[in-house]
Amino acid sequence: MPIHDLTSPGQAAPLLVWNEEEGMFRDAVAEFARKEIAPRVRAMDEAGRLDPALLRQLFEMGLMGIEIPEELGGQGGTFTQALIAIEELAKIDPSVAVVVDVQNTLVNNAIRRWGTAEQQRRWLPRLATDTLGAFALSEAGAGSDAFALAARAVRDGGEYVLNGRKLWITNAAEAGLFLVFANSNPDAGHRGITCFVVERGAKGLGVGRKEDKLGIRASSTCELILDEVRVPAADVLGEPGMGYRIAIETLNEGRIGIGAQMTGLAAAALEHAAGYANQRTQFGQPIAAFQAVRMELAKMATDIESARLLVYNAARRRECGLDFVKEAAMAKYWSSEIAETVASRAVEIFGGAGFTRDYPVEKLYRDAKIGRIYEGTTNMQLLTIARQLLG
């Protein structure tokens, strides 16, 4: 059953919901996360692997094609609903949240915006129902300078031949479809970058070493090897040389998704910390009775609410067709800052117990660190904000 057809489980309304449909959607995702994801979190983290059965459930719930039109197999939902799903999933497992995030805000959105009608009919139904996607931009020498790409694409008749290596590609271990960025005209610099849609079974395409990460361990991050990969010219997304624009504009939306992920992570850390503070006793009373602990919790709550408002403000601007580059950078910057800070404070409230794997705050603290790094580091977000302010 599509998730937007589910009825509300009757929970209290969340703090930031603008209409009944979004409220019901949030409740349904939260219930799914508690019932289906929570029991798997520890095992997936220790194994460093997403449970394949869970991935199938994410498709069945409609969470992998939220904005894809219903006639193409998706949910016909909104960008805001995609962020709601990411935030709620991150409260239970940020690893699962980023799988859904990359699918919706990067891969699906790029094909929806830049794909021809034929390309959309070909790929979007698969992405909505059974095929995971990956956004293959980064390379060893192209991190913050994402467009110093060494991967090359050479035209050969009706095909392009791709060679190179991609690194840190989220979802790569499970993906069946890759958006691969390579330079088809190196003399033009970044204006020669082209985006190709490449099937997993393409000859010469290999998924390399899977990174053994500090956090979000269930989300796969792998090397992608391009060895004489032939891609039909019909599988160019947009036009040759348009890859720079596709990547920039898509990542601007993706950063709002990371903001939602980090906000959900921080909210979970606060919830665990507050619950523990009410239970843990010292000097004959719960530690929540001590003013210092109360003030820490209050600061955490305020920081989280400010991050959430930045995230959904950026989302609404995007949906209204307003410029949102500065707001997306602000949301990504601030949410990743507070996620790390709030998770750290939560560990401290747990004391020695928080430093063990017996409680979930340890994992949230590990998961938070990546927020300041991927889809644009904190410094890159600050530069973007300043550039927008100064014109």
For 301, other C-beta atoms within 10 Å of its C-beta total 15
Question: What are the residue ranges of helices labelled H in the chain?
Answer: 20-32, 41-47, 52-60, 79-92, 94-101, 109-114, 117-129, 243-279, 291-319, 325-350, 361-368, 378-390
CA distance 73 to 286: 51
For 384, other C-beta atoms within 10 Å of its C-beta total 20
- 342, 367 contact by CB (below 8 A): no
- 226, 200 contact by CB (below 8 A): no
Given the residues 67, 174, 253, 375, select the one marked as catalytic.
375
CA distance 43 to 329: 34
Tokens of 148: 């110093």
Q: Which residue has the tokens 């300078």?
A: 145
For 163, phi then psi, to 5°, come to -140, 145
Tokens of 206: 């290999």
Q: Identify whether 375 is a catalytic site residue.
A: yes
Cβ neighbours of residue 330 under 8 Å, at least 6 residues apart?
Answer: 310, 314, 381, 385
For 244, other C-beta atoms within 10 Å of its C-beta total 21
Helix (DSSP H) and strand (DSSP E) numbers for the chain: 12, 10
List, by residue number, the catalytic residues: 375
